[in-house]
């Protein structure tokens, strides 16, 4: 059973749900998965099953994040580091505002924007005489 306490307009994430399912399935079947396994399997569901051209940052944030820690991640190497919140860092609050607009990424131009950004990166690399990196 999946349940939550988010009001209408709350945040929702297919990555969070997928990761939770994977963790539950692994648990009831006594399968040990590393954090990177969870990230990679969840990413596979997003890209191969759902069809989104996204990276692993959402998955990594769900799996690796910890309270009062800043996660720094290199998504090319999959190296992540957690940095403790400094004692002298002032208190702050995060405000999430619901716009009233609901979208599913797969029904938007998300994949087109991803392709356009990749091509723009290649053009900039070419103009700067850098080697063009292949698509992931």
Q: What angle do CA 4, 97, 56 make, to 5 degrees?
A: 65
Is 58 a catalytic site residue? yes
* Whole-number Å distance between alpha carbons of 104 and 97: 18
Per-residue CA distances from 46 to 13, 19, 38, 86 (Å): 11, 11, 12, 34
Question: Of 58, 74, 109, 126, which one is the catalytic site residue?
Answer: 58
Catalytically active residues are 58
């Amino acid at each position: 059973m999946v349940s939550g306490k988010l009001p209408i307009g709350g945040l929702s994430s297919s990555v969070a749900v997928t990761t939770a399912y994977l963790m539950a399935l692994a648990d009831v079947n006594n399968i040990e998965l590393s954090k990177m396994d969870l990230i990679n399997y969840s990413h596979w569901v997003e890209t191969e099953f759902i069809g989104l051209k996204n990276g692993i940052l959402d998955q990594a944030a769900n799996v690796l994040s910890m309270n009062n820690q800043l996660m720094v991640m290199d998504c090319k190497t999959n190296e992540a580091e957690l940095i403790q919140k400094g004692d002298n860092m002032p208190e702050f609050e995060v405000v999430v505002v619901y716009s009233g607009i609901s979208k599913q990424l797969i029904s938007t131009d998300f994949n087109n924007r991803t392709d356009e950004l990749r091509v723009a990166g290649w053009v900039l690399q070419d103009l700067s005489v850098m080697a063009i990196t292949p698509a992931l």
